[in-house]
Amino acid sequence: MEIWLIVLLVLIAVIVIGGIGSYNRFVSQRNLIKDSWANIDTELRRRYDLIPNLVSTVQGYATHEREVFENVTKARAMATAATGSPAAQAAAEGPFVAALRQLLAVAENYPQLKANENFLALQGELSNTEDRLQTARRFYNGNVREYNRRVQSFPSMIVANFGHFELEEFFEVDESLRGEAGVPKVDFSSSSTPAPVAPQAPQAPPAPPADGGGDAPPPPPD
């Protein structure tokens, strides 16, 4: 057998094996993206389930804030119904987070509400949910970033075109609305006004030198 034919067969085998490996990696990455998106969806649903009880608790202390409660309820309904792409879900999250920010801001004006055990439990669960949500969001976006890089890079883009692997969407929420951990944190601790400092007692004047110590004062002039 000719040498060139052997080289050609080896080259074809390497390309086929590499193509199969690249294809399988695309499949694994796409499945990982689906699984990581499911984690985001779970945390979003958990947060949506907390809102009715949170609204009901705040409403018991601030019955006149009807517009705020209506905005939160409508925004929650829109976000719950947004079951499409990650981009569509992120678009619905903007108004929802803004309405939730208003609701938490109202709670700051009612000291009795801040001491309500049910409200504190709901606020704590909401904060924990936001932490898990942001962790899931970063994990999902990281997987999408790596996957999209391979879809657009050569030579893996050849396998992507052959296997119909398309770009995936990121899940990004407006930073001005999302805040550091999803929604604004409300500090229900006591006032941060510093306590007054007690006045210090005046120091006693220095004692006069003992007899015989040091130079004697000069005599008065004649």
149-194 pLDDT, tens per residue?
Answer: 999 999 999 999 999 999 999 998 765 545 443 344 433 333 333 3
pLDDT of residue 111: 87
Quote the domain boundaries for residue 137. 16-178
Both tokens of residue 149?
A: 């890089």
Q: What is the CATH number of the domain that holds 158?
A: 1.20.1440.20
Both tokens of residue 104?
A: 């938490």
The residue among 47 and 210 whose pLDDT is bigger is 47
Q: How many domains does the structure of the chain reveal?
A: 1
Within-domain flag for 199:
no
Within-domain flag for 85:
yes
Within-domain flag for 183:
no
If DSSP codes are grouped into helix, strand and coil, which group holds residue 73?
Answer: helix
Identify whether the C-beta of residue 107 lies closer than 8 Å to the C-beta of residue 55.
Answer: no
pLDDT of residue 175: 56
Within-domain flag for 2:
no
pLDDT tens per residue, range 72-106:
999 999 999 887 789 889 989 989 999 999 999 98
pLDDT of residue 114: 81
Identify whether the C-beta of residue 185 lies closer than 8 Å to the C-beta of residue 127.
Answer: yes
Within-domain flag for 166:
yes
User: Residue 204 pLDDT more than 60?
Assistant: no
Which of 114, 136, 131 has its CA nearest to residue 39?
136
Both tokens of residue 91?
A: 């678009």
Within-domain flag for 184:
no
